[in-house]
Amino acid sequence: MNDELVAKIKANPNYQELVKKRTGFAVKLGIFVLVMFYSYILTIAFNPSILGTKTGDGVMTIAYPIGIAIIVISFITTLIYVAKANGEYEDLIEKVREDVKDEL
């Protein structure tokens, strides 16, 4: 890719929309997962006994549902991102490709 083409793609409104939307969304989801995971790890680090709180009269603690929820939520965020990336964002990439296809 020569400098001219790079400049042209960067000036393309569809490209700008792609980068802005995708980066914004990825960063938001990424921060969400990081905050979730580190809240968990820091709880284990500084006060593990909180996770030992019982949910009822039996032996069950909140540690299990929380661990399981993190695994499930991680999967769901992955699914959400890919649905968006493979639909909306890929469409934008196609539009950019249309605009510059003669020079690619």
13: tokens are 């409104």
Say whether residue 29 binds other proteins (CB under 8 A): yes
Selected binder of other proteins within 17, 21, 22, 99 (CB under 8 A): 22
Question: How many residues belong to the site for other proteins (CB under 8 A)?
Answer: 55
Which residue in 13, 24, 68, 91 binds other proteins (CB under 8 A)? 68
If binding is defined by CB under 8 A, does position 88 make contact with other proteins? no
End-to-end distance of the chain based on CA atoms, in angstroms? 7
Q: Looking at 13, 24, 35, 38, which residue binds other proteins (CB under 8 A)?
A: 38
Of residues 13, 40, 91, 102, which one binds other proteins by CB under 8 A?
A: 40
d(CA 18, CA 91) in angstroms, rounded, equals 9
Q: Is 57 exposed, middle or buried (0-12, 13-18, 19+ CB in 10 A)?
A: exposed
The reply on whether position 33 binds other proteins by CB under 8 A is yes
State the CB neighbour count (10 A cutoff) for residue 18. Answer: 19
